[in-house]
């Protein structure tokens, strides 16, 4: 796709071709230091961090630590991959965090209060995600509400809505219901396995299922965005919606689909969260929105893409995970975490927009 | 060059990297005179303007303004020194969210001398004075957002004039104006000339140049190649110098259509407009001409299902044609090269081949998975066919000149066969050489399809079409075969007189 290495300054225009020939075979462009920095800087930084932490902490360079990092970023990573889809069509989805917690609450409610099985709970969650995404898309495309405002409103609405069925209480096995009775349902073992089962990978019981889900979804959305015509049209819609419309694309449908994807991914994140916690916890998931948006935005800087992309999002999530895990192992206090995440985000954005922007101009 | 020049530049050079864009420009502007600068795309006009207005620094040479050296580091500095520029993009010159009065006095809100508090009354008073001096009759409390492009430009010029500039540079100011709007602009320029401002006017449009030029400079490949200042001005000589070749006056050989491909019956495209009918045949190139704002784009968009007709029927290949969306129109074999490639044609984040394949991804992909190799193959064919100057089909659009970007836009729709190809102002902002490339390609490939062009410039229509239809007030009022055209009748029709009954 966009290769900043191939950009030349806007004003250095090749003159009009009067000769009826293609320009002579291009000399392979010597990549300047800046171009290399833009392209590989972030990945080099990630590798540098890994090497640094491996050298200076004990236990960082182990399969268990690697898996732990992946597990710690799996849910934010999944949400970030979903929001990437909306960024691609030039939108934004602030409701992903609340979709995830709503779907966590719904899963707990379906199993504990309604006494249904794991399958029903999963389907209910996915349906909620798809429905909220659809509503977001419809509000944005047909009611012409700006994306940030529409999804901000939806976020508020969901945060409130998820508390209504239980009158503001968290959902746990054996809880007292508003009418005074005791909830009889259980978190099914199959459901809990989604969050707690570990697959064997060379070492037995190594890879948690949430990590597998993350990797599968990352590959899916990456392939979808980069290699299918639908993904390409979504990028076209995000870059110039009018031109996409004049090229025959149903622009509104693509935008709505992007929000549906985002909603479904967020609800998958919520399912994993519920399975990990084993309860519907009102207080959990506060940081999900900011962490996942940060990962998607950090992704702009990866490979100098300067645009939303699935690979970058995955690397962005991983970057935050590595950094926090490493610093924790070096005994940096927990309360500095948000500061560090914010600093990484700001630096990544400066990196993207200042360096890449200068190269394009 | 004259001795009394207000503004003079000598030996100005500028290069970007290895590209020498300006190779030693000498130029003098005199007070109370309109100097027209002509040049093909890529000749260096924009670069020169940017140097004069302080956007770029010059590499070599010198500029003098009223005897003093002039070397602005920023546009604001150039403005303070007395060189103001009205840029091509009208909306760069005004703030849409504010009213006319505030826009007119905007520059006085900044700087050390500006008062701390914003007094609506004072702004109104100052704005009235500025508007009065320029003979601007606009409601000062109107929002800019509600004004036409021409009015916005008047505001931008009036605001620039409030600095009492010595030199005013107008960069293709009529590019997005209708004829009557342009007439108002010319009256304003006349007034500026009378007040002794030295004006540098940059344009492609012959009609503009005929109207206002006192002197013409032709720019080619970064050098002034011709100066014409003896009345009567030698317009053809100026064009020849700019192109470095003789204007091609060969009349094209008008071809007759074989079978009818497309027909429209009693089509109505605007409320209150008269219905009209027309048909297009295979192998012919038809141009619809008419002034800006007479409904050419509305008709083009109706054919492509961006708009719905208010009445009437269309038939394509003897079947009813009523597409529900542009996607359906493409499926039916009707393609539109839309007006204004930047807003409705090209996807800026995509490279050449991704732009060319955009409407045809379904055809070019397998099971929904895009086949980049196939796309690149298609793009390479168009690059060769249209002589697009680029390093490869993976080049970013930003690296292409305007003419080459337009070729990509046209090439996209030529890359697949169609029944009806509609092109709305395909030569907009394209130099004459690129225009000829595109026109020749359209004529050469016209064989199996009907080709319909919408062109405001009559010369372009005469140069490319077999048949010319004239549009006025959202309806077609005249038809001419491009052989010994009755120019008087054609021009009368363009001017809005329906002479069909009389003739």
Q: What are the structural domains of chain B? A: 5-243 (3.40.50.300), 250-333+418-503 (3.40.50.300), 346-416 (no CATH)
- A29 in a domain, yes or no? no
State which residues form the domain around A265.
Answer: 38-360
Q: Do B346 and A8 touch (CB under 8 A)?
A: no
Q: Do A245 and B392 touch (CB under 8 A)?
A: no
d(CA B313, CA B275): 11
d(CA B379, CA B375): 6
Q: Which of B40, B43, B56, B396 to mutate to test the interface with A (most CBs of A within 10 A)?
A: B396
Give this complex's ipTM: 0.81
Res A289: pLDDT: 92
The stretch A84-94 carries a mean pLDDT of: 95
Identify all chain A residues contacting B21, using CB atoms and an 8 Å cutoff: 11
- A4 in a domain, yes or no? no
Number of A–B residue contacts, CB under 8 Å: 151
- A285 in a domain, yes or no? yes
Contact predicate B139/B191, CB 8 Å: no
pLDDT band, residue B159 (cuts 50/70/90): confident
CA distances from B471 to A19, B398, B498, B503 (A): 36, 35, 10, 17
User: Of A205-219, B407-421, B477-491, which range is least confident?
Assistant: B477-491
- A20 in a domain, yes or no? no
Of A178, A175, A82, A172, nearest to A136 by C-alpha is: A82
CA distances from B114 to B81, B96, B99, B118, B162 (A): 19, 22, 19, 9, 15
Q: What single DSSP character describes residue A113?
A: I
d(CA A360, CA B21): 19
CB of A252 within 8 Å of any CB in chain B? no
Pairing of strands B223-228, B334-337: unpaired
pLDDT band, residue B264 (cuts 50/70/90): very high
- A19 in a domain, yes or no? no
Q: Do B399 and A236 touch (CB under 8 A)?
A: no
Identify all chain A residues contacting B437, using CB atoms and an 8 Å cutoff: 17, 20
In total, how many domains does chain A have? 1
CA distances from A244 to A240, A330, B331, B394 (A): 6, 50, 15, 19
The strand pairing partners of B23, in sequence order, are B13
User: Of A228-232, B231-235, B453-457, which range is least confident?
Assistant: B231-235
Of B177, B162, B224, B176, nearest to B36 by C-alpha is: B224
pLDDT higher than threshold 50 for residue B85: yes
Of A252, A187, A223, nearest to A311 by C-alpha is: A223
Query: Nearest CA of chain B to the CA of A296: how many Å?
Result: 18
Q: Which of residues 302-361 of A touch B (CB under 8 A)?
A: 307, 360
Res B261: pLDDT: 92
Q: Do B387 and A245 touch (CB under 8 A)?
A: no
CA distances from B445 to B282, B309, B410, B440, B461 (A): 11, 29, 12, 8, 17
Q: What is the mean pLDDT of chain B?
A: 84
Identify all chain A residues contacting B351, using CB atoms and an 8 Å cutoff: 1-3, 6
Quickly count: other Cβ atoms within 10 Å of residue B2's Cβ.
12
Identify all chain A residues contacting B17, using CB atoms and an 8 Å cutoff: 8-9, 12
The strand pairing partners of B503, in sequence order, are none
Res A19: pLDDT: 33
- For helices B120-134 and B149-161, give the axis angle rounded to 10 degrees: 100
Percentages helix, strand, coil for chain B (3-state, rounded to 5) are 35, 25, 40
d(CA B308, CA B421): 18
pLDDT higher than threshold 90 for residue A324: no
Identify all chain A residues contacting B49, using CB atoms and an 8 Å cutoff: none
- A25 in a domain, yes or no? no
pLDDT higher than threshold 90 for residue A60: no
């Amino acid at each position: 796709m966009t290769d900043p290495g191939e950009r030349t300054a806007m004003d250095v225009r090749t003159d009009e071709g009067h000769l009826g020939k293609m320009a002579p075979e291009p000399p392979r462009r010597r990549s300047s230091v800046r171009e290399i920095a833009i392209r590989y800087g972030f990945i080099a930084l990630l590798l540098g961090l890994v090497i640094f932490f491996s050298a200076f902490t004990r236990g960082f360079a182990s399969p268990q630590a690697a898996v732990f990092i992946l597990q710690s970023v799996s849910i934010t990573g999944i949400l970030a991959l979903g929001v990437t889809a909306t960024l691609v069509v030039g939108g934004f989805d602030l409701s992903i965090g609340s979709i995830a917690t709503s779907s966590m609450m719904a899963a707990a409610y379906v199993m504990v209060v309604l006494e249904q099985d794991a399958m029903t709970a999963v389907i209910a969650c996915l349906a909620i995600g798809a429905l909220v995404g659809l509503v977001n898309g419809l509000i944005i495309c047909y009611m012409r509400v700006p994306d940030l405002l529409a999804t901000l409103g939806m976020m508020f609405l969901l945060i409130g809505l998820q508390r209504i069925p239980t009158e503001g209480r968290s959902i746990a096995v054996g809880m007292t219901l508003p009418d005074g009775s005791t909830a009889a349902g259980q978190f099914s073992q199959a459901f809990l396995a989604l969050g707690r089962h570990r697959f064997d990978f060379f070492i037995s019981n190594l890879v948690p299922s949430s990590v597998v889900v993350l990797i599968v979804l990352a590959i899916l959305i990456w392939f979808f965005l980069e290699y299918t015509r639908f993904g390409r049209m979504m990028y076209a819609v995000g870059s110039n919606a009018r031109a996409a419309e004049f090229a025959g694309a149903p622009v509104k449908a693509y935008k709505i689909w992007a929000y549906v994807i985002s909603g479904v991914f967020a609800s998958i994140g919520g399912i994993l969260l519920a399975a990990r916690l084993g309860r519907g916890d009102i207080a959990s998931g506060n940081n999900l929105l900011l962490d996942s948006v940060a990962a998607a935005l950090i992704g702009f800087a990866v490979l100098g893409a300067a645009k939303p992309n699935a690979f970058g999002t995955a690397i962005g999530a991983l970057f935050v995970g590595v950094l926090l895990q490493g610093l924790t192992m070096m005994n940096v206090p927990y309360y500095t975490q948000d500061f560090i995440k914010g600093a990484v985000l700001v630096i990544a954005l400066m990196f993207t927009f200042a360096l890449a922007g200068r190269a394009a101009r | 060059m004259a001795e009394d020049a207000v503004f003079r530049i000598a030996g100005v050079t500028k290069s970007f990297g290895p590209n020498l864009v300006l190779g030693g420009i000498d130029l003098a502007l005199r007070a109370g005179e309109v100097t027209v600068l002509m040049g093909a795309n890529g000749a260096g006009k924009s670069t020169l303007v940017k140097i004069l207005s302080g956007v770029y620094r010059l590499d070599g040479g010198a500029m003098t303004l009223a005897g003093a050296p002039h070397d602005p580091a920023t546009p604001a500095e150039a403005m303070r020194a007395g060189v103001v520029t009205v840029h091509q993009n009208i909306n760069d010159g005004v703030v849409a969210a504010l009213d006319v009065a505030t826009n007119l006095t905007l520059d006085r809100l900044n700087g050390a001398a500006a008062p701390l508090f914003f007094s609506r009354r004072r702004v109104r008073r100052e704005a009235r004075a500025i508007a009065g001096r320029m003979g601007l009759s606009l409601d000062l409390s109107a929002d800019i957002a509600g004004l036409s492009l021409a009015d916005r430009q008047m505001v931008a010029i009036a605001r620039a004039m409030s600095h009492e500039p010595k030199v005013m540079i107008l960069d293709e100011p009529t590019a997005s104006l209708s004829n009557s709007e342009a007439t108002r602009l010319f009256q304003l320029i006349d007034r500026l000339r009378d007040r002794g401002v030295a004006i540098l006017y940059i344009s492609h449009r012959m009609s503009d140049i005929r109207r206002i030029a006192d002197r013409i400079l032709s720019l080619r490949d970064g050098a002034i190649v011709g100066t014409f200042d003896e009345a009567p001005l030698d317009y053809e000589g100026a064009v020849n110098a700019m192109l470095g070749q003789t204007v091609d006056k060969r009349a094209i050989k008008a071809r007759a259509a074989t079978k009818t491909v497309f027909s429209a019956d009693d089509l109505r495209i605007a409320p209150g407009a008269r219905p009209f009918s027309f048909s297009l045949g295979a192998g012919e190139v038809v141009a619809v001409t008419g002034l800006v704002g007479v409904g050419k784009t509305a008709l083009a968009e109706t054919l492509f299902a961006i708009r719905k007709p208010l009445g009437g029927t269309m038939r394509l290949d003897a079947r009813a044609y009523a597409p529900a969306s542009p996607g359906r129109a493409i499926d039916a074999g009707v393609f539109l090269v839309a007006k204004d490639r930047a807003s409705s044609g090209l996807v800026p984040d995509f490279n050449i081949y991704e732009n060319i394949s955009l409407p045809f991804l379904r055809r070019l992909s397998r099971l929904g998975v895009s086949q980049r190799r196939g796309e690149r193959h298609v793009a390479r064919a168009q690059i060769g066919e249209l002589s697009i100057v680029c390093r490869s089909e993976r080049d970013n659009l930003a690296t292409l000149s305007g003419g080459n970007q337009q070729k990509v836009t046209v090439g996209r729709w030529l890359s697949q066969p169609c029944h009806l190809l509609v092109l709305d102002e395909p030569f907009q902002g394209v130099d004459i050489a690129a225009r000829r490339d595109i026109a020749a390609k359209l004529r050469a490939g016209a064989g199996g399809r009907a080709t319909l062009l919408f062109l405001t410039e009559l010369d372009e229509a005469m140069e490319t079409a077999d048949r010319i239809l004239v549009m006025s007030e959202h309806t077609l009022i005249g038809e001419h075969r491009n052989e010994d055209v009755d120019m008087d009748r054609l021009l009368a029709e363009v001017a809005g007189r329906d002479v069909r009954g009389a003739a």
